[in-house]
Amino acid sequence: MKQTKTTDYTLCPKFEKAFSILGKKWNGLIIDVLLEKSPQRFSELKQQIPMLSDRVLVERLKELEAEGIITKAARCNESSRLEYFLTDKGLDLQLAMKQIKVWAEKWADTEDCG
């Protein structure tokens, strides 16, 4: 009987980190919205993702900002007019997001959602 050598799978820490960010609920949608139109104010993001609570949106924006994926800036020096936009790091997700959309169109069944 011939033995086959099995290779232990080692999870790449960078791959794991990427999925901990992108796999967190709402992060992908926030990034996708900003890829479509950037910059956007908080209220505009909220309008694009209405099922997302204000509290969670604030949390996710802070997390994505801490990861260097998005940043915020005041519009016309008005601190009350903050806008969120993708950094170069965030913009680099465009191709990956496009491929996920292609996969979703082919395989995701919307009846399973919700």
Sign of CA dihedral 35, 28, 88, 64: positive
Cβ contact 90:104 at 8 Å: no
In this prediction, residue 9 carries a pLDDT of 83
Domains of the chain, first to last: 18-105 (1.10.10.10)
* 50 preceded by a cis bond (ω within 30 of 0): no
pTM: 0.84
Share of the chain above pLDDT 70, in %: 89
Residues sharing a CB contact under 8 Å with residue 79, sequence separation 6 or more, in sequence order: none
In this structure, of 22-31, 51-60, 64-73, 105-114, the range with the lowest mean pLDDT score is 105-114
Region 56-82 average pLDDT: 90
